[in-house]
Amino acid sequence: MNEAMTAARDAMTVRRVFGEPCERDGVTVIPAAVVVGGMGAGGGQRGGETGETGDGGGFGVIAMPAGAYSIRDGRVRWHPAVSVNLLVAAATAIGLTWLVGRSRTARARATRRSG
């Protein structure tokens, strides 16, 4: 269990959030990411004649690019990362919500007119 906790802690360090700075032509770029992690563990004992016991655990880490900082002539600028997949998913969700709402509104109006 201690090994899993140590591995989880090491996986979610600031180095996972901010990458190594890179310098070229007087511009320093520092990549940044959103890092989310979780851990779970448990144990149990089986009754009966066998008296079996067991425990287990695990963790997971998800990292997504957030963007990068650029430093030029002492000025820092943020450049956000654009996730096309996330934009498409959000647009699809908004479009479906609008269509469902429009359909329900049309049905409600038709019911009021006929009833």
Cβ proximity of 12 and 4 under 8 Å: no
Q: Residue 1 pLDDT more than 80?
A: no
Say if residue 70 is in the same domain as residue 21: yes
Say if residue 77 is in the same domain as residue 87: no
Portion of the chain with pLDDT greater than 90, in percent:
37
Cβ atoms within 10 Å of 77's Cβ, excluding its own: 10
Say if residue 18 is in the same domain as residue 44: yes
- Dump pLDDT digits (tens) for 60-83: 778 888 899 999 999 999 999 888
Say if residue 115 is in the same domain as residue 74: no
Q: Residue 58 pLDDT more than 90?
A: no
- State the average pLDDT for the chain: 84
| Domain encompassing residue 65 | 2-81
CA distance 93 to 67: 24
Say if residue 67 is in the same domain as residue 114: no
Say if residue 52 is in the same domain as residue 90: no
Cβ proximity of 21 and 47 under 8 Å: no
